[in-house]
Amino acid sequence: MKRFLVVGAVAVSVMSMAIGCSKSDEHAGHKEMANQQAASTSTNDVTKDNWQVPEFTYTDQDGKKFGSQDLKGKVYLSNFIFTSCPDVCPPMTANMRKIQEDLKAEGLNVEIVSFSVDPETDKPATLKAFGEKHKSDFSNWHFLTGYALSDMEKLARETFKGTVEKQESQVQGGKPLFQHPVQFYLVDGTGKVRKFYNGMNPDQALIKKDVKEVLGSK
């Protein structure tokens, strides 16, 4: 269930390999993924490429409305998850949790936004339980649902140049599997994506450095 997606961005050619959360092959665990590879510069900086997060209003893990208005002027890290993901999302969420702790310890004011790619299964209570399991601090971490799958497909494709897609196979218990990006995206106060990182193996020091830079420049 591995797929390669080659995207030509304006300035750089970013090859991003999104993977499906799937246990179906010979390897039971999550699969290694190459996060990104810029053709000439090997940078994860997409500041010049205008990856703009559109205006949105969705629903958070408490069933409250949450959207781009709440993020105006704020720097945030974003990713895609689904709670029945058998392999990638649990470790990726644990990594995000470590980053949340680290940034908090440094007094850096950063929000975290996790978009569910399975809005049908992931109701607010489901997301809340998932966050609790991973010891997410909900004071600045927002797990979102309350939209159609097609909205996430579009958001992934148009803003983050990645793929969200329902797979043919299912996880145990009959829930659907989804392919989704495994990056952490750093978004600035204007809703523009500045950098991205491999969510399975994020460079915490680099993220901290970049966050300070983006917070400083707004």
The secondary structure element, H or E, covering residue 140 is none
**Rounded Cα–Cα distance for residues 70 and 77 (Å):** 14
Per-position b or e across 105-140, b if 16+ CB within 10 A of its CB: eeeeebbbbbbbbbbebbbbebbbebbeebebeeeb
* Window 1 to 40, contacts with Cu ion (CB under 5 A): 21
Closest distance between Cu ion and the C-beta of residue 149, in Å? 14
- Cβ 162 to Cu ion, closest distance in Å? 12
| Residue 180 annotated in ligand binding | yes
The residue among 140, 143, 146, 118 whose CA lies nearest residue 129 is 143
Among 12, 18, 53, 85, binds Cu ion (CB under 5 A): 85
Nearer to Cu ion, 30 or 128 (CB): 30
In angstroms, rounded to a whole number, what is the distance separating the alpha carbons of residues 60 and 12?
A: 34
Contacting range for Cu ion; rule: CB under 5 A; set: 48-56, 86-94, 140-148, 165-173: 86-94
- Name which of 143 and 211 has its Cβ closer to Cu ion: 143
- CB nearest Cu ion: which residue? 85
89 in contact with Cu ion (CB under 5 A)? yes
Residues with Cβ within 8 Å of 123's Cβ and at least 6 positions away in sequence, in order, are 145
85 marked ligand binding residue? yes
Residue ranges that bind Cu ion, judged by CB under 5 A: 21, 85, 88-89
Annotated binding site for Cu cation: 85, 89, 180
